[in-house]
Structure 1
Amino acid sequence: MDFHKLKKELITYSKEIGIDKIGFTTANPFDELKSRLIRQQELGYQSGFEDPDIEKRVTPSLLLEEPHSIISIALAYPSKMNERVESKKGMRRGIFSRASWGLDYHHILRDRLKKLEEFILTRVPDVRLKSMVDTGELSDRAVAERAGIGWSGKNCAIITPEFGSYVYLGEMITSIPLEPDSPIEDQCGSCTKCLEACPTGALVQGGQINAQRCISFLTQTKGLIPDEFREKIGNRVYGCDSCQTACPHNKGKNFHFHGEMEPDPEVAKPLLKPILTLSNREFKNKFGDVSGSWRGKKPIQRNAIIALAHFKDETAVPELIDVLVKEASPVSRGTAAWALGKIGGEPAFAALVKAKVVETDSEVRGEIEKALNYYK
């Protein structure tokens, strides 16, 4: 078979189905990545969301029998909303990171990869294929870097010349020997703007991140947010874009190629107070289609409480007292106590004093005492 011709056909077809960039690489092991992953593990810098088996993350042949190439795809997403909503006193809003605007990108990329698989099968019926997006074993960024999609920036994101780092990535391991593309030369140079912009210092150095300090990771955890990070979260209810918005390669990059990626402003930048009282069904109806909902309602509610404290929103005190008194989740009660202490005022103080008498959870009691100390 003429694999050179097949590669050209794949490039052409990829554009027809809404893939903004496609690249090809070998299925050789990712040896350099392996050493970095081992070091990250030793330093305790991993998020815990990764596949724990490092060998699978760097060895395509463990995922598909006799692989010969990997196809990497990238889809550009918007960096600005066409419709805007404002945050006003008494109607404060949170923000989802840009990667969680519109329909969950996992669904979008899987759709494109499935179409690509079907096309390949019409050309090579006995082909072996394995596609993955984000939650697969391979590192999307390592594949994209080697396939020439973009270079790995100091912010640990793939930066494309065309779309900046505002791209979703996915890949497909194949048994077809497709000609590999050449990687793109690193273009970050001496720039350190992303490192300087990181609110928590999670970017240890160019190309190395301590996920345990990353706001994007912290907003997805389920426990109490450590004290040192709470005020740095600001009004982020999911994810963080600081290192991307600071990047000069993202300046002016804003693409609206895909209708399913268009954000609903009321979802991407939601009012905070209503989040505190959402039922599970209401949460699913409002946020269930976005990628930021994957950890469920509780982390988003906790983050909304932190955001209300960030704004020192006195109008939210009644809702926060309700959370402190009625919420079953100790994390929500504890975070609400801290927020009431931050916002201050007599009603908040009285509620904290009363809650301290009846609260049985030791962590929540600790948060109440901490909140009361703000009044001293």
Structure 2
Amino acid sequence: MANAQLKKEIVAYSKHIGIDKIGFASVDPFLTLKNRLVQQQKLNYQSGFEKGTMEERTNPKIHLQEAKTIIAIALAYPSKMKNARRSVKGERRGLFCRASWGEDYHKILRKKLERLEQFVLANYPEEKCLSMVDTGELSDRAVAERAGIGWSGKNCAIITPEFGSYVYLGEMITTLAIEPDVPLEDQCGSCNKCVEACPTGALVQGGQLDAKKCIAFLTQTKDMLPEQYRKKIGNRLYGCDTCQVVCPKNKGKDFHHHPEMEPDPEIVKPKLLPLLAISNREFKEQFGAIAGSWRGKKPIQRNAIIALAHFKETAALPALHELLWKDPRPVIRGTAAWAIGEIAGAGSREQLEAAKKREKDTIVLKEIEKALESVKNG
């Protein structure tokens, strides 16, 4: 069968199963990416969540030796929430980023890629396919860029002309030989809004990210959050959308093509106070289906405490006092101490003084000392 006809069939089937955009790329090593990754490592800018060796991340043929093509896909996700709940005094709410709205996108993309694989193998049973989504070794963004899905923006996201950067990406390595698509030209131009708006300065310059400073990374860590970032977090429980929201290419982009991506406002913009006492079972029942739950409840609880301090929510003080006294996790006790110092309500000094006498953990003790200073000077 002619290469062009084969490509046409795959594109048509992708539209039939609800894939919003598809592109085709060569399996040549990603040498530009490799050089960038080497530089990232030298500067210690990587997050630590990356999977695979340098070769595994940049050489597709390591994963499928006979590979000839990479098929890249993109699914558009919503940027606006219907019936969003208001955060009001006494019932403050946190926020999960847009990439955590609806069902876990890894599952959604895998289902699409599985159907695409089944189509290919049903028609060409002698061929081989290997799919990856986010947690695979290959860089979804590098593949999507090469396949003409979009260009790599200064915010380090793939920006598509049709859907902006509000897209999930995945890819399938295959032994099918298909004519590659042409990459798009960079369209960011002189715009630097994302770099200027980044709350922590994680976007060092256009296209270069210090992942360890990125709020999307920081909200997923499990240790004490460095003090210089706590007030930058705001009410974010997971992820950060600032560099996408300010992007002119995302203006007016809001697509609701996939019902499973629609957010439940009570899940992605939950009340903060109930999170402080949520059990493991309750957490899994309420949040287990979304991408933002993958690190468990501890980072979300820590971030909820920080968010309550951001709001100066005095109604949270009894719960924070309880955590400081009884929670077995030093990170939660330490963060609670800091938050009490930030809110500085009635009885806070006495609670902190009492907790100081019984606390054994040195990190928590330091947070209590700083909180006492805040209360005294507040």
Would you say 1:33 and 2:33 are equivalent positions?
yes
> Residue 48 of structure 2 aligns with which residue?
48
Q: Which residues of 2 match residues 3-14 of structure 1 at below 5 A?
A: 3-14=3-14
Q: Matches of 2:261 and 2:372 in 1, distance apart?
A: 44
Which structure 2 segments of 5+ residues have no match? none
Percent identity for Structure 1 against Structure 2:
65
Q: Secondary structure at the match of 2:375?
A: coil
Q: Secondary structure at the match of 1:110?
A: helix
**1:346, distance to aligned residue in structure 2 (A):** 2.7
> Residue 189 of structure 1 aligns with which residue?
189
Q: Secondary structure at the match of 1:170?
A: strand
**1:319, distance to aligned residue in structure 2 (A):** 0.6
> Residue 303 of structure 2 aligns with which residue?
303
Q: Which amino acid aligns with 2:87?
A: S
> Residue 87 of structure 2 aligns with which residue?
87
> Residue 292 of structure 2 aligns with which residue?
292
Q: Matches of 1:128 and 1:2 in 2, distance apart?
A: 19
For the aligned residue pairs, the C-alpha RMSD in angstroms reads 0.7
Q: Secondary structure at the match of 2:24?
A: strand
Q: Matches of 2:290 and 2:242 in 1, distance apart?
A: 20
Q: Matches of 1:361 and 1:112 in 2, distance apart?
A: 48
**1:3, distance to aligned residue in structure 2 (A):** 2.5
Which structure 1 segments of 5+ residues have no match? none
Q: Secondary structure at the match of 2:300?
A: helix
Contact 2:327 2:333 in 1 (8 A): yes
Q: Which amino acid aligns with 1:128?
A: K
Q: Structure 1 residues 98-107 or 51-60, which shifts more?
A: 51-60
Q: Which amino acid aligns with 2:362?
A: S
Q: Which amino acid aligns with 1:267?
A: I
**1:301, distance to aligned residue in structure 2 (A):** 0.2
> Residue 351 of structure 1 aligns with which residue?
351
Q: After TM superposition, where is structure 1 displaced by more than 4 Å over at least 4 residues in a row?
A: none
Contact 2:52 2:137 in 1 (8 A): no
Q: Which residues of 2 match residues 224-263 of structure 1 at below 5 A?
A: 224-263=224-263
Q: Matches of 1:362 and 1:346 in 2, distance apart?
A: 26
After superposition, give the CA deviation of every residue in 1:163-182 in whole Å (9 maximum; x if it has no partner).
Answer: 00000000000011111000
Q: Which amino acid aligns with 1:185?
A: E
Matched residues, number? 376
Q: Matches of 2:345 and 2:96 in 1, distance apart?
A: 29
**1:47, distance to aligned residue in structure 2 (A):** 0.2
> Residue 151 of structure 2 aligns with which residue?
151
Q: Matches of 1:151 and 1:65 in 2, distance apart?
A: 27
Q: Matches of 2:40 and 2:107 in 1, distance apart?
A: 29
**1:375, distance to aligned residue in structure 2 (A):** 2.2
> Residue 74 of structure 2 aligns with which residue?
74
> Residue 126 of structure 1 aligns with which residue?
126
Q: Structure 1 residues 341-350 or 287-296, which shifts more?
A: 341-350
**1:347, distance to aligned residue in structure 2 (A):** 1.8
Q: Which amino acid aligns with 1:109?
A: L
After superposition, give the CA deviation of every residue in 1:132-158 in whole Å (9 maximum; x if it has no partner).
Answer: 000000000000000000000000000
After superposition, give the CA deviation of every residue in 1:63-104 in whole Å (9 maximum; x if it has no partner).
Answer: 112210000000000000112211111000000000000000
**1:123, distance to aligned residue in structure 2 (A):** 1.3
Would you say 1:265 and 2:265 are equivalent positions?
yes
Q: Secondary structure at the match of 1:36?
A: helix
Q: Matches of 1:96 and 1:310 in 2, distance apart?
A: 16
Q: Matches of 2:129 and 2:269 in 1, distance apart?
A: 38
**1:52, distance to aligned residue in structure 2 (A):** 4.5
Q: Matches of 2:227 and 2:316 in 1, distance apart?
A: 21
**1:212, distance to aligned residue in structure 2 (A):** 0.5
After superposition, give the CA deviation of every residue in 1:253-272 in whole Å (9 maximum; x if it has no partner).
Answer: 00000000000000110000
Q: Matches of 1:177 and 1:276 in 2, distance apart?
A: 54
Q: Under a length normalisation based on structure 2, what TM-score does the superposition of the two structures give? A: 0.99
Q: Which amino acid aligns with 2:247?
A: C
Q: Matches of 1:107 and 1:375 in 2, distance apart?
A: 47
After superposition, give the CA deviation of every residue in 1:163-216 in whole Å (9 maximum; x if it has no partner).
Answer: 000000000000111110000000000000000110000000000000010000
Q: Matches of 2:348 and 2:52 in 1, distance apart?
A: 44
Q: Secondary structure at the match of 2:347?
A: helix
Q: Which amino acid aligns with 1:220?
A: Q
Q: Which amino acid aligns with 2:235?
A: N
**1:2, distance to aligned residue in structure 2 (A):** 2.4
Q: Which residues of 2 match residues 10-29 of structure 1 at below 5 A?
A: 10-29=10-29
Q: Secondary structure at the match of 1:75?
A: strand
> Residue 212 of structure 2 aligns with which residue?
212
After superposition, give the CA deviation of every residue in 1:34-58 in whole Å (9 maximum; x if it has no partner).
Answer: 0000000010000000024111000
Q: Matches of 1:375 and 1:300 in 2, distance apart?
A: 26
**1:4, distance to aligned residue in structure 2 (A):** 1.7
Q: Which amino acid aligns with 2:112?
A: R
Q: Matches of 1:54 and 1:162 in 2, distance apart?
A: 32
**1:350, distance to aligned residue in structure 2 (A):** 1.3
